[in-house]
């Protein structure tokens, strides 16, 4: 049964349940009539999720040296010098502090996958212009942020092949919700 026929049958059942006269299924509206179907190009623009294993990563590349320049231009105002903190929060530091009395949860100390950093930056940053960075700029920013704490070398280029291979410091710091985690997680 299609969704619209199911909705119509449900609406008719509700009317009957409240003592009203039954409506013919073809006379019951399919829904509230709000909005419109999203165009395919808009759906594609927002279907940009990156999985921990790198599935969904686009072509492109960047390194820390390029990322430092981009960081100063687009990130410094909110995240401070070298990601040390600001109104937008701290990105770096804290590695090894999670089991201490004063854990510092940052992108570098807490997040288990480097691919998540790419996904978040590409989707949401900079806060004043989300999705305005090119894929090369996002790879470069990720390289820069990771290089601040020595997770990658300043000269290490990141791309769709190298990014998923990065072992984040807290990769094994989470308890799996699944008895056996799906492949790639």
**Could you tell me if residue 60 is inside a domain?**
yes
> Of all residues in the chain, what percent carry a pLDDT higher than 70?
81
Weakest mean pLDDT among 20-24, 67-71, 119-123: 20-24
- What whole-number distance in Å separates Cα of residue 42 and Cα of residue 35? 14
Are 110 and 66 within one domain?
A: yes
Are 16 and 81 within one domain?
A: no
Segment 139-176, tens digit of pLDDT: 999 999 999 999 999 999 999 999 999 999 999 988 77
**Averaged pLDDT for residues 68-80:** 97
Are 123 and 82 within one domain?
A: yes
Are 116 and 151 within one domain?
A: yes
Q: Kindly report the average pLDDT of the chain as a whole number.
A: 86
Are 100 and 130 within one domain?
A: yes
For residue 73, the tally of other CB atoms under 10 A from its CB is 11
**Could you tell me if residue 172 is inside a domain?**
no
Tally of domains in the chain: 2
> 26 versus 156: which is more confidently predicted?
156
- The yes-or-no verdict on residue 20 having pLDDT over 60 is no
For residue 57, the tally of other CB atoms under 10 A from its CB is 23
Q: Which regions of the chain does DSSP assign to beta strands (E)?
A: 61-62, 158-159
Segment 97-125, tens digit of pLDDT: 999 999 999 999 999 999 999 999 999 99
**Could you tell me if residue 65 is inside a domain?**
yes
- CATH number for 103: 1.10.760.10
CB-based contacts of 45: which residues, under 8 Å, 6+ apart?
131
Weakest mean pLDDT among 22-26, 37-41, 106-110, 150-154: 22-26
> Of all residues in the chain, what percent carry a pLDDT higher than 90?
67
Helix (H, G, I), strand (E, B) or coil at 158: strand
Closest C-alpha among 139, 147, 142, 51 to residue 95:
147
From the number of C-beta atoms within 10 Å of its C-beta (0-12, 13-18, 19+), residue 60 rates as: middle
Are 19 and 52 within one domain?
A: no
Query: What pTM, to 2 d.p., does this model score?
Result: 0.75
17 pLDDT band, cuts 50/70/90, is: very low
- The yes-or-no verdict on residue 134 having pLDDT over 70 is yes
43 pLDDT band, cuts 50/70/90, is: confident
Are 139 and 158 within one domain?
A: yes
From the number of C-beta atoms within 10 Å of its C-beta (0-12, 13-18, 19+), residue 85 rates as: middle
**Could you tell me if residue 21 is inside a domain?**
yes
**Could you tell me if residue 178 is inside a domain?**
no
Give residue for tokens 């808009």: 42
Domain that holds residue 155: 46-165
Are 27 and 53 within one domain?
A: no
Residue 62's φ and ψ, nearest 5 degrees, are -165, 160
């Amino acid at each position: 049964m299609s969704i619209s026929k199911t909705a119509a049958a449900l609406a008719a059942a509700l009317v009957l349940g409240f003592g009203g006269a039954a409506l013919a299924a073809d006379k019951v509206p399919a829904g509230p009539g709000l909005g419109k179907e999203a165009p395919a190009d808009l759906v594609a623009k927002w279907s940009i999720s990156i999985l921990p294993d790198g599935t969904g990563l686009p072509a492109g590349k960047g390194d820390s040296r390029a990322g430092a320049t981009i960081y100063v231009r687009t990130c410094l105002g909110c995240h401070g010098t070298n990601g040390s903190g600001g109104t937008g929060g701290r990105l770096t530091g804290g590695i090894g502090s999670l089991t201490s009395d004063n854990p510092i949860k940052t992108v570098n100390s807490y997040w288990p996958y480097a691919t998540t950093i790419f996904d978040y930056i590409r989707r949401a940053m900079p806060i004043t212009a989300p999705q305005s960075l090119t894929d090369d700029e996002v790879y470069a920013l990720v390289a820069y942020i990771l290089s601040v704490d020595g997770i990658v070398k300043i000269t290490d280029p990141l791309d769709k092949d190298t990014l998923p291979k990065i072992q984040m410091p807290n990769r094994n710091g989470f308890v799996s919700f699944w008895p056996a985690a799906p492949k790639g997680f």
